[in-house]
Amino acid sequence: MSFRQGIRLIATVALLAFPLFSAAQAQELQHIIAVVNDDAVSNRDVVERIRLVVVTSGLNDSPEVRQRIAPQVLRTLIDEHLRLQEAKRKNVSVTDNEIGFAISLIEQRNKMPVDSLLSFLESRKIDALTLVTQIRAEIAWNKLVNQRLRSLVTITDEDIDDELQRLRDSQGKPEFLLSEIFLTVDGASKNRVVRENADELVKQVRAGASFANLADQFSEAISASDGGSIGWVTVNQLDGEVAAAVAALQPGQISDPIPTSGGYLVVKLDQRRQLQAPDSGEAVIDLRQILLGISSDATADEIESNIALAHVMRETVADCEDMVRIADETDPTISGDLGRIKLNDMPAEIRTAVEALPLATASDPVRTESGVHLFMVCERAEPDAGPPRRLDIQQYLIEARLDQVARHYLRDLRRTAFIDIRI
């Protein structure tokens, strides 16, 4: 029997499983419908997980919905067995405290009272072990990925510089707060099935289901453990098709499934904002000056003479120390060292002269009421651009590459595993 025929029969059993079972149905629920290496997946496993997904994700509890999500539920259960088997093989364990902490995070994310989730499931006659098994597989996989695969990811200073430059190039452009659901395609033969699964998830979210909870249940990206959240990203950080899809969304909307090199991506736009450049006027410069004083009753020839002298000085002054020395020789009563000044605090004509002035380079003569000035910038402290810092960028790049490595790891586990779909 084909995989899709098997799924249809599994879904039929799932339809009968709400909320009471006859003796025949109960026997059918114990039937093994998949073998994953040495582990078995029963009808009951599928039915209980469907019940969990329906209740926690806000899906419409109907036979049609349960039937449509059954294929992705079975795929998820198979992947969980593969992850747990690999974690066990690599001696990665999960403690009860870690599971308890994960449950508390789910309660916080869903604004539930403390210690209420398990009783909530019990009140709806859902076996808590179904949730615990899912959480155990998720934690084990994340620990395995971080312990075993993180060392394979190397981020260089050049990588960080390139990413920072992309962010600078994005200044003034939109920035997006995104969440994702990613479904892997293993081979061309699975493409249609995975696309149908992705279409169904999109349909359910648009009908009111929780994107975060469906991401937690079905997404194969590392972000699944955080409800699919991937944080703020710029257009330059997104692939072409993804960027185009996101640009067309309004906050709260989700995309259609987007084909990628490894599967299908569904993106939710949570917020949009403009990535603002830091205010250049907040830059602080260490400034030197030479001032040729001009009296208020100076003639035009006297003014022109001083401007000409300033041009000569500009060509001869060598550095900041030279500026102070010449300023002292010119007029000892006027300091040549103006100290550290913020650009926003300067008169407009002086700011214009020095804002883009290279370090240790004398400016063109500047005429003010006081006379003719030459300025030199000795140091420049640019305004704090805020996050992301280099450390933030490094972490972002690590997570992105680690996600790719983890996907390939799971794909390889699928390809080498013995997976037998039965009835």
The CATH number for 177's domain is: 3.10.50.40
Whether 269 and 177 have beta carbons less than 8 Å apart is answered as yes
Domain residue limits at 58:
3-276+389-421
Looking at the 3D structure of the chain, how many domains does it have? 2
Confidence band, pLDDT 50/70/90 cuts, at residue 152: confident
160 shares a domain with 127: yes
Query: Strand pairing of 419-421 and 32-36?
Result: antiparallel
Residue 397 has φ and ψ, to the nearest 5°, of -65, -40
240 shares a domain with 312: no
324 shares a domain with 208: no
285 shares a domain with 261: no
71 shares a domain with 206: yes
Res 84: pLDDT: 96
358 shares a domain with 232: no
Q: What's the average model confidence in pLDDT over 228-234?
A: 89
300 shares a domain with 227: no
Judge whether residue 115 has pLDDT over 60: yes
407: left (phi over 0), alpha (psi -120 to 50) or beta: alpha
262 shares a domain with 190: yes
Judge whether residue 37 has pLDDT over 80: yes
* pLDDT tens per residue across span 280-301: 778 899 999 999 988 888 888 8
Res 25: pLDDT: 52
Confidence band, pLDDT 50/70/90 cuts, at residue 308: very high
366 shares a domain with 226: no
Judge whether residue 95 has pLDDT over 70: yes
Answer yes or no: pTM beyond 0.85. Answer: no
Res 361: pLDDT: 93
374 shares a domain with 406: no
254 shares a domain with 121: yes
208 shares a domain with 81: yes
- What is the spatial distance between Cα 117 and Cα 115, in angstroms, rounded to a whole number? 6
